[in-house]
């Protein structure tokens, strides 16, 4: 592992604070009541997918599939009645678990799916979440954090090309 100097580590900490404060400000400006969903996207994408821009699609689709399935735990019983609604929800969960075991549809059924499904089925989330806002929160996280990564990658490539040109 690359050891970082305390000064450089402090600089990275300041950059993290600025990025997170920017997301919080954007979420507040957009009146997102479920901004946590964007942070959960960031947590998964940065820790599991190493914040690689090419891994945004699988992280995003998995997040939406997981959150959508979690939303069914509330929405299906309300629409179909408790028994049929919960049976539908549990059937879909079992299908997703089987799909992840079998390695089917990894762009849609992956660890992001399972993380969002798990968090979305926490009783407090089930009882209080505004699911539309959860989806907007995920989208905000994708656009904000993914957009920053794409911009940073483009700047890094431009700097690398310029440095290569200077070397000859």
pLDDT of amino acid 1: 60
Kindly indicate the confidence band of residue 164, based on its pLDDT and cuts at 50, 70 and 90.
confident
**Cβ 62 vs Cβ 109: under 8 Å:** yes
Model-level pTM? Answer: 0.91
Contact 34, 132 (CB under 8 A): no
In a domain, residue 49? The reply is yes
Alpha-carbon distances, residue 153 vs 39, 64, 123, 149, 160 (angstroms):
21, 25, 39, 6, 10
Chain position carrying tokens 């000859």:
168
The answer to whether the CB of 146 falls within 8 A of the CB of 56 is yes
In tens, the pLDDT along 20-47 reads 999 999 999 999 999 999 999 999 999 9
Q: Is residue 29 part of a domain?
A: no
In the chain, the number of structural domains is 1
For residue 90, give its domain range. 34-167
């Amino acid at each position: 592992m690359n050891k970082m100097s305390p000064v450089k580590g402090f600089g990275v900490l300041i950059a993290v604070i600025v990025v997170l404060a920017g997301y919080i400000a954007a979420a507040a400006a957009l009146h997102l009541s479920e901004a946590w969903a964007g942070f959960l996207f960031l947590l998964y994408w940065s820790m599991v997918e190493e914040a690689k821009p090419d891994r945004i699609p699988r992280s995003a689709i998995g997040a939406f599939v997981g959150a959508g399935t979690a939303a069914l735990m509330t929405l299906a019983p309300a629409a179909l009645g408790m028994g049929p609604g919960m049976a539908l929800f549990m059937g879909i969960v079992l299908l997703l678990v089987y799909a992840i075991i079998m390695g089917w549809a990894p762009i849609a059924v992956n660890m992001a799916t399972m993380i969002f499904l798990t968090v979305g089925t926490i009783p407090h989330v089930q009882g209080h979440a505004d699911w539309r806002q959860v989806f907007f929160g995920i989208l905000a996280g994708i656009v904000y954090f993914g957009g920053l990564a794409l911009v940073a990658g483009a700047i890094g490539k431009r700097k690398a090309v310029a440095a290569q040109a200077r070397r000859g």
